Structures are given as C-alpha cells and as structure tokens.
Structure 1
Amino acid sequence: MPSISSIAKRSSLSIVVVAGGALVLCVGVVFLVRGHRSEPNMGADVSPRLVHWFDARLPRDIPGWTSRPESLGQTEASSSAAAQTLNFDDVFYRAYFQAGRTFTLYAAYWRPGRMPVMQVAAHTPDVCWVSAGWNREAVRDRETIACPGVRLLPGQWRRMKLEGLGTVRYVVYWHLVGGRLFIKNRYFGSIPSPWDYWRIALKSALRGPPDQYFVRLSSSVPYAQLRKDPGFQRVVEALARLGLENHRADRLL
C-alpha cells in the first residue's frame, strides 16, 4: 500500500504538471490574442492598401502568347467576397493563350500582420476549387516546376477536373510565409492540430508578423510541355525573383 509521503509526492508532481500546462496554454493564448489584435481589417483599413505591387514583378505580356486580366471567380468564391475574406494588399490574376493551350497565374500578397497564416492557408484549390465543382483526380505534395536555368521551390500539385464538363487543369500552388515555404499537406483532408496553431503563433510572436505570398499556376496541359517555351520561362523566372527560386535547402517554415 502506498505511503502517505509517496501519495503526497505524486500529488505535488501532478499539480506541477497541470500548472505548467496551464502556463503554456496561457502564454499561447496571449501570443494568439496579440497577433490577432495587431492585424488591421478591411473596415478599419489601418494601413493604406498597396496598389500595383505586382506590376514591376510579374509579366503581363510574354513572347508568343496573348493575355488578358482575369477577375476573381468561382474558384476564389467571388470577386467582392474574395477581396474581403482574403484581405490581400494586392492581387495579380492573368490568363495567357497560345494555339489551343492556356495557363493562368494568380498571386496574392499580404504585408506583415495583414492576415493570420492559417487563414491564408485555408484558401487553397483543395477547398475553393472543390467547392466550385472541381474534383481532385491526382495529388502530389512536392512538385518542382523548372525551366532551363531556373528551378522553383516544390509546390502542391493537383490535377483537377470540372464535374460535368470534363475540363482538366494542372494546378500548382505555393504559400510563402516570411520568405519560407509553408507546407500544409499534412493537414490535407483533416483539421490542423492545435500544435500547428501554437507553432505559427509562437514564431509570429518571436519574429514578428510575417509577410505572405500565395501563388498559383493553372494550365490546360502538363507543365512538361511548357518548360522550354520562352514565354512560360519568363513567368517562371519572375516567380523565382519573387521568392520561389529553389536555391536553398532550409526554406521550409
């Protein structure tokens, strides 16, 4: 039979463990609350919106292709709803056409503190495209887009098919947080764990709120058919300069 002293020691240890856990929880809550309070919203518009952030960074016209601007559509919920929900500082969305094939480039930018990381990470083709009637036919979590002389960071690759029409699109997307690639594939089909929220909140508290990019390519043909095209290569080079160039091994968040 356990002695009174051993029972007392166990009780003390339990109290210490519970108290320690409560302290960690409270600190985490403080980090989260501080992070959310520091974020401006569309209504208050605390800082001026950036206009034409991408103008000098992404090509509107490329050799051998015609192009046109695209409005945010079903895959981004809707233009007005997407702008308010995503709360980006600038967005670039353009379609490029050439001899029966096409690809689109979508890029959004958030200055530090504009949006929580996990909220941006929730708006991916796995959610928005599927909600708009597209099916995921194939998934690869680390797909590299490369052209002669340049290679991008591994992205999330999907082959999507529009239900009822049979339209197929090859989609690759990236989420950059503070210049580092945010990998979310472990959350695919499930709810992110509390640890993931604590991890992001802690890093934001220690380093300060990060800036963010979300970039998406969508093509009517596999990217292997585009990699040697001079126009597509110009787009890939621009994305590399934007922060997606794969030249370091420690670019994961």
Structure 2
Amino acid sequence: MQHDSNNKLVSWLLRYPLALIGCLLLAIISLAALVGPLLVHHDPAQIDLVARLQTPSALHWFGTDELGRDVLSRTLWGARISLCVATAVVLLSLAVGIVMGSIAGFYGGIADTAINLYLSNAFLALPGILLAVAFVAFLGPSLVNVVLALALSGWVNYARLVRAQVLHMKDREFVQAARSLGASDARLLLRHILPNIAQPLIVQAAVGMAGAILAEATLSFLGLGVQPPTATWGAMLNDARSHLFESPYLVAFPAAAVALCVLSFNLIGDGLRDALDPRSRLREGL
C-alpha cells in the first residue's frame, strides 16, 4: 500500500513538472530553515562593527550588513520566521473560514445573510494588508499579533469558498440519504460534506501560504512585524534600503529568498489545481 502511494506521488510530480520544481524549491528552503542555522556558526544577532558591510567572502558567504551581522545566518533564520508565520496564518484562517463558511452554507437564511453579506463584506471593504497594519499598529508588533492580524484579514476567502462548496454538496444524494437515516447536522458536515470539499481548500491553502509570506515580509518591512534582533526577510530589506547601491547584496539575498519561497507555493498550488480539476484529468485521458 505504501509502495503504491509513493508511485502515485512520483507519477503525479513527473506529470506536472512545475509542481515538481515547486516541491523541490520548498524542500530546499524548508531544509535550509531547519538545518541551516545549526550549520552556520555566526549568531544572526551578533553585532561586529569592525566587519560591517563586507562583501560576500569565504568567511561570510552572503556578506555582512551595516552592523556587521552575517547575512547568511539572518537569511536562514528569516526563513524559519516566514514559514512558521505563513503556516500559522493559513491554519488559523482555514479553521475560521471552515466554521463560518459551513454555518453560512449549511443553514442559509439569517446565518448566511449575516456571515456572507454583512460580516464578509465588512472585512472585504478594506484591503487585507491595510487591515493587518491597523491591527498590529493598535496592539503592538509581535509574532502573535502578526499571525492574528494576517488571519483576521485572510479568513474571508476561505469562508466564501467553503460556503460555495457546502451549498453545492448539501443537496447531493448521499447527504440526503445520510440525513434520512437520522444523521445529525454535525455528522453531515464532518463526515459527509467537509471531506468531499477538501480538494479546493488544499489548493487555496497552498496559494494562501504564498500570500501570507508576502504579507509578513511587508509588515516586517514597515517595522510592524517581529521586532529586532530577530531576523526576518522584510526587516532585512528595510535595513538594506540605505545601502542599495553600494551594497546591493544586502537586498539581493533576502529578496531572492522571498521570491523563491512565494514561487514554490504558487507552483505547488497550480500543480494541485491542475491535478484535482476533473476537466484537466478528462483532457489528459483524451
């Protein structure tokens, strides 16, 4: 059984080469985030003014910043922060979106009107990043507040997707059959509806990871993310602005890290969308 599952995964990756590239990029970034800081012996927060603004060398592979801190170690630590924040944001947004969307789609009526018409539109009236900036500015910058702020602005998309899927699934024959046998509303949702709408949620979550990484980098760039001396990609880009022309490597490495991480999740999301789309599978069969 395990061997067959592995063969299916390998065949899927070979059928969608862009998704394979995305998985490889994500694997490299994740491995670097987990293992890299243990292999690089420079403290990302250690200040060494004697070694400030050194170009990449054998001692400092990515060079040093304006305070003499090793850019490589800071980039690796920034990967940990970005991946942790993105994962927490997507999980929290997905959880809230599933609950709100399930209630709106399954019960309809006043619940649907209150959630889908009033509450969702109220959150969509403001740009998500602006809402997150206001939230963090009010409560103060910290890792927890960044996660809460981005989840607060991101749950609506999941809720609307879940609502649409639940509306489509709740009148299907197998759901009606389970209802006629006395299944409760909770059992209908948890056992019969939600497992059958997992595919679009997975695709949306993969794309949402990319958006969360960009949003976290934006907040850190504005000084509203995780505070120093913790290294984040956005904060590194902010610190490098004044040295853009004489030390472009300070911008190049964290910017490349953000771009590759976002690209990997977008490629994975596109591959999952193509693989899970029945019309795409039908075209492949033809």
Q: TM-score, normalised by structure 1?
A: 0.27
> Structure 1 or 2: larger strand share?
1
Q: TM-score, normalised by structure 2?
A: 0.24
